Each structure stands twice: as C-alpha cells, then as structure tokens.
Amino acid sequence: MTLKIERSRERVRLSGDLRSEDLDQVRTEIERCGTSAVLDVEEVALVDLDAVQFLNRCEANGVAVLNCPAYIREWMSRERARAE
C-alpha cells in the first residue's frame, strides 16, 4: 500500500504505509502548513523505524501527531526511551 497525503490549512492527513522514502514529501507538506502544523496519522497502517523516529522528531519540534494508532505510539515511546 502506498502513502496518501492530504493537506488542508494546518493539517496534514496521512493514510496508508509511512516509510522512509515518503518522509521528505511529508516534511515538505508540514513545512507548507507553517508553525501550527498538525499531523493526523489515524489511517496509517504500517510504519518503519525511520518513520517512527520522524514522528518523534515532529513532536519534539512542536508538530502535534494526532490520532496515532496504539502500536505506533508505543513504538514511538520505546524509541524515545532508547535514545535517552
């Protein structure tokens, strides 16, 4: 499954599989939203390690990651703990 990206004002909505090869495009869409960007990942089905680390960096930089599936949120937490 590929990644679908929809942007409206300050919200970037993702659906499908979020993989390392998609991150530059997602980053560009977030930058277009400006400083109040929100990343909605409710319909993301699959992520890889680079995507999890990217989501953590987004949050660290003030981008809200909303509607995150439980398994992704848990992986994000484990990666943050490992990095400390």
pLDDT at position 62, please?
A: 94
pLDDT band at 1 (very low <50, low <70, confident <90, very high): confident
Q: Which domain holds residue 68?
A: 3-83
Judge contact between 5 and 26, C-beta under 8 A. Answer: yes
pTM of the entire predicted model: 0.94
Find the CATH number of the domain harbouring 68.
3.30.750.24
Indicate the SS3 state at residue 70.
Answer: helix
pLDDT one-digit tens code per residue, 26-71: 999 999 998 889 999 999 999 999 999 999 999 999 999 999 999 9
Task: Go through the chain and tell me how many residues it has.
Answer: 84
CA distance 83 to 73: 15
Say how many domains are in the chain: 1
Angle at 41 between CA 31 and CA 2, to 5 degrees: 90
Report residue 71 as tokens. 């398994």
